[in-house]
Amino acid sequence: MDVHLTYKATGLVMAGGALGAVLRFHGTQLAVRLGHTGYPFATLGVNIIGGFAMGVVAALVLRGHVGEPLRLFAAVGVLGGFTTFSAFSLEMFQMIERGQVALALGYALLSVSLSLAALAAGYAITRGLT
> For 54-81, what is each residue's pLDDT tens digit?
999 999 999 999 999 999 999 999 999 9
C-alpha 81: how far from chain center:
7
pLDDT in tens, 5-47: 799 999 999 999 999 999 999 999 999 999 988 889 999 999 9
pLDDT for 1: 56
Distance of CA 125 to the CA centre of its chain: 18
Work out the end-to-end distance of the chain between its first and last CA atoms, rounded to an integer number of angstroms.
Answer: 32
How much is the pTM? Answer: 0.80
Q: What residues have CB less than 8 Å from 111, skipping those under 6 apart?
A: 43, 44, 47, 48, 88
From the list 57, 44, 128, the residue with the least C-alpha distance to 84 is: 44
* Farthest-apart Cα atoms in the chain, separation: 52
Least Cα distance to 20 among 63, 83, 89 occurs for: 83
Spatial distance between the Cα atoms of 125 and 15, rounded to a whole number of angstroms: 27
CA–CA separation, 91 vs 126, rounded Å?
32
